[in-house]
Amino acid sequence: MSRYRNLLRKLLRNPFLVFYYFFRIIGWLILKLPFFRFIRETAKSETAITFSYWFTQRVLRINASAYWPMHYSSIVSYSKNVYAGIETCPGYNPGCYVHAVNKIYIGDYTQIGPNVGLMSGNHDLYDYRIQTAARPIRIGKHCWIGMGAVILPEVELGDFTIVGAGSIVTKSFPEGRCVIAGNPAKKIKDLDAARCVPFMTENPYNGYVPHQQFEVYRKANLNV
C-alpha cells in the first residue's frame, strides 16, 4: 500500500504526471483493440509495426500509399509496383528511396538498412523527363542490404545475398548465398550453403497485411 501512497503523493505534487499516466493507460487500452492486432502480432519481428509507424502513415498520411511500414524520412514512388515479402519493408529504416517506376520484387525476410536506394528506372539520355522501361529489380529471400547501398535497374540478387554498406550494385548475382560489395559491387565471399537456413515467424505479415490475406490484397491492389 505504501507504494500506491507514494505514487498518489507524486501525482498530487505534479499534475503533469496525471496526464502522463492517463494517456499511457488510454494508449494501452487502445492497443488492446482487435483493430491493432497487427501491432501485437509483429512486436517481435525485425520490422515491428509500432503505433508511431501506423499513426505517421495512416493518420498523418506520410508514405500513405505504402502497404508496409515506412519511416517518415524515407520515400517511395509507384508503391503499387512493389512486391514486399513477409517481414520485408523497404524504407522501414530512415533515409531510403524506393523508386518503383518499373517493378520491384523483394522476397521474404529480406532486411534493408538505412539510406538505401532501390532504383528500378533510368532517365532517357536526351530527355530526362522520360523514364525508360526496364526489367524488374528482383531481390531474393533472407537477404541483407547494408546501409547506403544502391540497387540499380534490372538487378537480380538470389536468396541469402548480403550487400555491403555503400555498395553500388550494377549487375546481377542470381546465384545468391554470397557477399557482394564495392562500386561497382563484386562478389567477395561465398556463403556456406549448409548454414543458409530459412526461418519463419509465428505471425507472418506482408507489411500491414496478414500473409494469409496477402494474395487477395495483391490481386486487388497491386501491379506485381
Structural domains of the chain in order of their starting residue, each with its CATH number: 71-195+203-221 (2.160.10.10)
Q: Which residues pair with 72 in a beta bridge?
A: none
* Average pLDDT over the chain, rounded to an integer: 91
Q: Global pTM?
A: 0.87
What percent of the chain shows pLDDT beyond 90?
76
How many Å apart are CA 173 and CA 186, to the nearest integer? 9
C-alpha distances in Å from residue 94, one per residue of 30, 115, 141, 167 = 27, 6, 22, 17
Instruction: Find out whether 140 and 178 touch, Cβ atoms under 8 Å.
Output: no
| Predicted confidence (pLDDT) at residue 17 exceeds the cutoff of 70 | no
How many Å apart are CA 187 and CA 55, to the nearest integer? 40
Residues classed as catalytic: 123
| The pLDDT value given to residue 5 | 73
| The pLDDT value given to residue 23 | 59
- How many CB atoms are closer than 10 A to CB 90? 29
Query: Residue 164: what residue type?
Result: G
| The pLDDT value given to residue 84 | 98
Residue with cell 525476410: 109
Q: Which of 29 and 101 is assigned the larger pLDDT?
A: 101
What percent of the chain shows pLDDT beyond 70?
88
Strands of the sheet with 161-163, listed across from one edge? 111-112, 144-145, 161-163, 178-182, 185-190
Mean pLDDT in residue range 44-56: 93
Q: Which residues pair with 145 in a beta bridge?
A: 112, 163
Which pLDDT band holds residue 221 (cuts at 50, 70, 90)? very high
Summarised one tens digit per residue, pLDDT across range 174-215 is 999 999 999 999 999 999 999 999 999 999 999 999 999 999
| Predicted confidence (pLDDT) at residue 16 exceeds the cutoff of 80 | no
| The pLDDT value given to residue 32 | 78
Summarised one tens digit per residue, pLDDT across range 92-144 is 999 999 999 999 999 999 999 999 999 999 888 899 888 888 899 999 999 99
Q: Which residues pair with 156 in a beta bridge?
A: 138
**Which runs of E-coded beta strand occur in 85-184?**
97-99, 104-106, 111-112, 117-119, 122-123, 131-132, 137-139, 144-145, 150-151, 156-157, 161-163, 168-169, 178-182
The residue length of the chain stands at: 224
